[in-house]
Chain A
Amino acid sequence: MKPRQKRFALIIGALAVLGTAAALVLNAFEENLVFFFTPTQVVSGEAPKHRAFRIGGMVKEGSVQRDGVNIRFVVTDTANDVPVTYTGILPDLFREGKGVVAQGKLDDAGKAFKASEVLAKHDENYMPPEAQHALDKAAVEKASKTLK
């Protein structure tokens, strides 16, 4: 092998080792890299019990109740639901049926979540209002068909 080929092979080899090391480290840190827990994880007891964490999912349709700044809503991943209480101002993008991430703790019973901070999670869809209306209309029509 020419020296330059040897150097090239050495660098590629070192990069491969480094990449593997990074992959292993990230794998080991998996749990700490998770920004939020899903309602299913919370219900199955994977989320921490007496420590603050974040819960993420969709705001369940029709679940938001406002009483001044006291807000109750349900976070769902369609499989499981977790009720959330929060006191404060909600971000603009907080809507029923849209993504949400709340920081807080489970109550002593481990059933309800008391949030100290609520963030809206936007999805990757960007569309003009007309397209959104068309989608909503199609969804309503589909729903009425299934009801018949």
Chain B
Amino acid sequence: MINWFKFSAPSTFYPLAGKLVPVFWLLAAIFGAIGLYIGFFVAPTDAQQGEGYRIIFIHVPASWMSMFIYCVMAFWSLLGLTFGTRLSGMMTTALAPTGALFAFLSLWTGALWGKPMWGTWWVWDARLTSELILFFLYLGYMALHAAIDDPRRADRAGAVLSLVGVVNVPIIYFSVKWWNTLHQGASVSLTKSASMASTMLWGMLIMALAFWAYTLAVALMRARAIMLEREANTEWVKHLPDIRRAA
């Protein structure tokens, strides 16, 4: 069995992350190129919406990622509060800006689609409002974390916020089922077959993979920077090949 706790030490995680970052950048580039090609050139025009529907190739994967990243942050926070591992807080902090980016992309592309299709940029229905709250939760996490000087205390406060906020994620996901909303129901779900043409679906899934790879790449890069910053005075950082070369 793999000793997972070994990787929760920044000194072992740092070089591992360094090896993984280029791999995930490459995957993001490949999947992104294929996904966008399918999205723009292969997927057929929609019968009702014409070409404007093509925004789903960004909108849907971005919305999925915004919800998923928050769940991952909550997971790390739970580990951090329970075991007191240093890595957990670093990973949560590293993920937050990317989650905020995806939440913003989801809201922005949705508004661009909503104007021509619905006839309005924005409505206060349950789906849109709960996604906006998610965006504010990300911003709130970053602000709270930045406001506390002691990193360990900042991690703990942030962990509590992200665990409290995770209640919002199922609300976003099921809002279109629980209430009458202007936003349409899910086209893709685990319980029924997708109600969209298969090339459209493939384009969307490949774009989702590209966003996954991108998230892993930037989050690991950010986590590495945070590790160096916080552990600057430790032995393992002083003995890093990159640091010794620079000194």
Residues of chain A whose beta carbon lies under 8 Å from any beta carbon of chain B: 4, 7-8, 11, 14-15, 18-19, 22, 26, 30, 33-38, 56, 90-95, 98, 101, 117-132
Contact = CB atoms under 8 A, between A and B. Distances in A.
Given A120-B117, A124-B185, A127-B196, A11 B82 contact: yes
Contacts of A126: 46, 49, 53, 56, 187, 195-197, 200
B182 interface: yes
Interface in B30-57: 44-49, 53, 56
Interface string B69-88: 00000000010011110000
B186 interface: yes
A125 B200 CA distance: 11
Interface stretch (B18-26, B93-101, B163-171): B163-171
A124 B49 CA distance: 12
A30 to B, nearest CB: 8
A86 to B, nearest CB: 11
B182 A101 contact: yes
13 contacts: A18-B167, A26-B171, A33-B178, A33-B179, A34-B180, A35-B123, A35-B124, A91-B117, A119-B119, A124-B185, A125-B187, A128-B197, A129-B44
A127 B187 contact: no
A33 B119 CA distance: 21
B184 interface: yes
A127 B126 contact: no
Nearest to B204: A126
Contacts of B46: 126-128
A121 B187 contact: no
Interface of B: 44-49, 53, 56, 78, 81-84, 116-120, 123-126, 163-164, 166-167, 171, 178-182, 184-187, 195-197, 200
B181 A35 contact: yes
Contacts of A95: 48
A125 B185 CA distance: 9
B134 to A, nearest CB: 14
A123 B167 CA distance: 27
B184 A128 contact: no
Given A4-B83, A91-B117, A93-B118, A124 B187 contact: yes
Contact of A33 (B49, B56, B81, B126): B126
A132 B48 CA distance: 9
A91 B123 CA distance: 15
A127 B187 CA distance: 11
Nearest to B119: A91
Nearest to A92: B116
A119 B184 contact: no
A118 B119 contact: yes
Given A11-B78, A35-B179, A127 B117 contact: no
A33 B117 CA distance: 22
Given A11-B163, A15-B163, A119-B182, A124 B123 contact: no
Contact of A35 (B45, B47, B125): B125
B45 A129 contact: yes
B201 to A, nearest CB: 9
Contacts of A15: 163, 166-167
Contacts of B196: 124-127
